[in-house]
Structure 1
Amino acid sequence: MRFLPFYSSGLEDSYGNSDSLKESGSKKRVRSGTCASDSKAHREKMRRDKLNDRQTHSLSPSLFLCAWFQELSSILEPGKQPKMDKSVILGDAVRMVVQLRDEAQKLKESYDNLQEKVNELKAEKSELRDEKQKLKAEKDKLEQHLKALNSQPGFLPHPPAMPSPFPAPHQVFASKMMPYLGYPGIPMWQFVPPAAVDTSEDHALRPPVA
């Protein structure tokens, strides 16, 4: 009878451990069930994606062509209802391509013309620069020449070493009579008759003296 409490406590411990094991096992089963459900949902999603891909690839090429033509029609005429007639859409596309090619050719020609004009302007600019350099060089030469002329002294006659015994004619004239400056000198040959001025017959009328 003394050993009954011991045995009873041991039994209670064993029963308690068994209950804890049951609880842990139930938790593990819940976790494993959650993981299994997640993996199952993932597999289901993958299966649906594969089915969608198969359905997409199994569509006929005509549907793809129709979708492509509708997209092309919306590009050619944005803002309008897409056309369904393939021949009309192809005609519009060809016309648009030809128009774009013509515009590209015109733009290329205009670019070439502009480039040619730019080259001509560059050539004219270089010619003007050369002419400017030449004019500047000529200007420098003229300035140097003017400086050289200005640096030379003016012409002054040297005085005679000995006084002249006879006065100069203008001095004699000045000493005898001063001209009246109010009336300028008039040449007299205009009052001579033309026959006296004519010298065409001098060799006959007045032969040279031997």
Structure 2
Amino acid sequence: SASSVEIDGSFEDSDGLKESGSKKRVRSESCNVSTSKACREKLRRDRLNEKYSHLFSRAFSLLFFLSMPSMNVQHFVNNRFMELSSILEPERPPKTDKAAILVDAVRMVTQLRGEAQKLKDSISSLHDRIKELKAEKNELRDEKQRLKAEKEKLEQQLKAMNSQPSFMPPAPAFPAAFATAQGQVPGNKLVPFFGYPGVAMWQFMPPASVDTSEDHVLRPPVA
């Protein structure tokens, strides 16, 4: 109808005012703020014009809507309900029952709120899990540092043990002449060689075993 066309025209005028205000703001922002006082004053006036133009456009739209006849208002409300029904169920034809449309809208809003709450809970649990993983990461880093320090300590102890002299000194070296006399016989035959000289053990034996006065009787010489 003519009144609905006028409503659309009023909204288009308000959109045009918004676009003109935004264009003015773009043109005003192109001016350098620090150039002069006049430029700053122009920016202030543009902001005020944009603010009041939005207010005037909304007030004009509201007054125009209130001045419409009741039939046009009913038609406008019916159109809005049909748009809401098509948004709620786009795959089905729009409903005409306003109560059913409102019930569907409430159900959809409740469902969306529940999903939003589930997402918030999931995000909160993920944040808690991230904190736990960070704590585990810090613990593993500390454990790694501790193991590294223990490894370095063991390596230093091993180096210190390798650098110390052995507790058993090597056998003393004897002169070559003594070694030849004791350890070698004619014919280059090897005999057992003892690194340490023998000790006289006869003084620790009983006197009867040491007595040699009867050897010629007990053990006569071989002919």
TM-score, scaled relative to structure 1 = 0.50
Between the two structures, name the one with larger relative contact order (CA 8 Å, sep ≥ 6).
Answer: 2
Greater Cα radius of gyration, structure 1 or 2: 1
